[in-house]
Structure 1
Amino acid sequence: MNILLVGSGGREHALAWKIAQSPQVTRLVAAPGNPGMAAVAEVRPVAATDVEGLVALAKEIGADLVVIGPETSVAAGLADVLGGEGIACFGPTMQAGQLESSKAFTKAFADRYGLPTAAYVVAESADDAKRALDRFDAPYVVKADGLAAGKGVVVATTRGEAEAAIDDALGGRFGSAGSRVVIEEFLDGEIGSLFALCDGKTAMLFGWAQDHKRAFDGEQGPNTGGMGTYSPAPVFTPELVEQIRQRLVEPAFAGIAAEGAPYRGVLFVELMATQHGPKLVEFNVRFGDPECQVLMLRLESDLVPYLQACASGTLDQMPPPVWRDEAAVCVVVAAEGYPGTPKAGGEIRGADADLGDQVVIFHAGTKRDADGTLRAAGGRVLNVCARGASLQQARDKAYAAVDAIDFADGFCRRDIGWRALTR
């Protein structure tokens, strides 16, 4: 079969790497892709939000399936247009995509369907948002309502920091994504990421991981799109997973279907494991980044039949996925200045080296010069991933690979997996 994969980041490189291993795949095209993806797929320069261009490309290559990687493509309505053209798509419609594209929508959705989540207030003016802080105790959680590439959430330890975050969001830092804010109760517990597939009617759990949002070691610094992740994560006990399935996953899929938008694709449930059970932090309407990277390293099953089953409504015919017993770790190497203004253009050496079959380097924000020189072209630049018999072994391999890469402008956290390793 011919597959068009949409996106250009580390998540999409990981998906391309796994999809390319399937014996069912005849042709894999990535748009817009990245230099790393070019090793496993044809790369075509069509932007992830160019719906017309992507539909034309899908027709050109005779795509049997289009796989949507980023949330921006969902918000642009790519799945809707593909559906109208009769082209199978793994990825939800724009309406279902509101579960990520609007935090205010998701909070109201959680209220409607009884999903456990933090108390909140939605505000469209700085004065209203600052008054809402009176309802909560520090630390304060301030979120831009719309899509902000993982940078729209501030956990403020003081009221002054919270008010500055409100002014920042409503003052235009995130464009239209910050036209309103959500002020939330701070949830005390351990964070986790769980994934579930749906074909519009049937749901299937599809792995879990734990990531690190803060920029620096010891959970310090600003929130980012994610500085690293690992799987499996001890926080996901069988009891917790079952609670998440019953209290969050199944009600969410049933609720969005009841509102006329049956969900087809993967739902990322970011949650806090609290003393009162799992509580929703937020939904994402795609695989996590960098969670997807460790899931693909651990997934023993062929990914393609699951993607196709979601698109075709046949997920009920699929067995549960098989996972490797090994642990996997992903270390994000970011450009200096991330998540603020990252330094661009720095040369990278060693990212294409063969570091063994248990180490994989996914490109997240790179470009290649005409002479072949690899350079940084984004905030998160490389995802250095490894498998091992234990989490410690996987982490040791990942950091050894990081140290083998020459990228003077790069930095990474050195404590990925600390929660599991210090339990």
Structure 2
Amino acid sequence: MTANPHTPGVVNARLSEDELAANFTDLHAPYEVHEARVAADRCYFCHDAPCITACPTSIDIPLFIRQIATDTPEAAAKTIFDQNILGGMCARVCPTETLCEEACVREAAEGKPVEIGRLQRHATDTLMAQGAHPYTRAAETGKRIAVLGAGPAGLACAHRLALKGHAVDLFDANTKPGGLNEYGIATYKTVNDFAQAEVDWLLKIGGITLHQGQALGRELDLTKLAAEYDAVFLGIGLAGVNALAVEGADKENVADAVEFIASLRQAEAKSDVPVGRRVVVIGGGMTAVDAAVQSRLLGAEDVTIAYRRDKSAMSASLFEQELATAKGVRILYNAQPKRILGNGACVGVEFAYTESGPDGLRETGETRVVAADQVLRAIGQTLEGAPEALTITGGKIAVSETGRTDMPSVWAGGDCAAGGEDLTVTAVAEGRDAAEDIHASLMG
């Protein structure tokens, strides 16, 4: 039976299946062929294109857009995949508004950039729909590499190594590959189980053997792997979640936003995922926005994102903030959580107002209470299970520019490695570049 959306407490099935299906449609509908050509014609095809520099994977954006304009989307997709083998997912989840599209000359001249992300999706979807893989492996090298983590960094690394003829054992702790793409991305951004379809397509390169349910520090030992394999790449992500160090943080219906997102991603039916009537999400990043928007789409009546600093400091892009407010989410800036209220289950959150000054963030002395029957923490993730042999800096594995750790024959990339932004596209670039360095090291 479907519950009334106004039912108090944390319940499932606040909306009907038809309402949920309508709410969780594709955030950006794919282009039709003629739409893609029209959009491609807006590109100036700049010789010194700033969009290329702004892309962490350095895709030749003017070239692939010209290929779309000349009705060769398959060639455009190959241009993309040469630099970013997960170009299909990145087209869906990249913050293009702060990367390539922000750098677009059209954006500077007119305030409306070429829609690079949607054009990239058009090209990659066209080629992937044909089923065949566009790459052929080089001759076998006899080298074996262990890649730990089947997320964006690990998949990019494994594919590039397999392409060069190496044999790759790809280990992952979860029951499904994909990492963040499978478990941590908002459902409305990657509909129709795209994450798994992309992994299946990527593995068609051959030479990659997938091992599920294998975690570093549990079934796998880094020292033993380094001795058994010619090289090891760590793309293990950030499995831990920062604790909310306030009174009442252990009350019922206070949970991690990443777990909330993952539960919706893996649910057989969206109506199986419980959601509160009044939801408060604490944090200021993409995860906070994804959790808040999905709460609204599941039927929550009142959803608030509370961030302790001002709007300009919020790590979620302006596009993401505006998306949240367009979906009915309220964003409360300069609000520092003080305690979770309630007797057993949470009923609200008390916040202290803050302001930034020369000595940093400080509380003003004013407080307010926001009613909540569900509180979701989105205050960052932490590295877990890193072996003592590795140097940790800033809570992540210390690496060189090409991903080398200070442990011989071990590389690392993606969210677990120091440096770079915690973005899917950055993880792909780091996995790809580490693979190139591994290949050069192994082949002399």
Q: TM-score range by the shorter chain?
A: under 0.3
The alignment's TM-score, normalised by the length of structure 2, stands at: 0.26
Greater strand content: 1
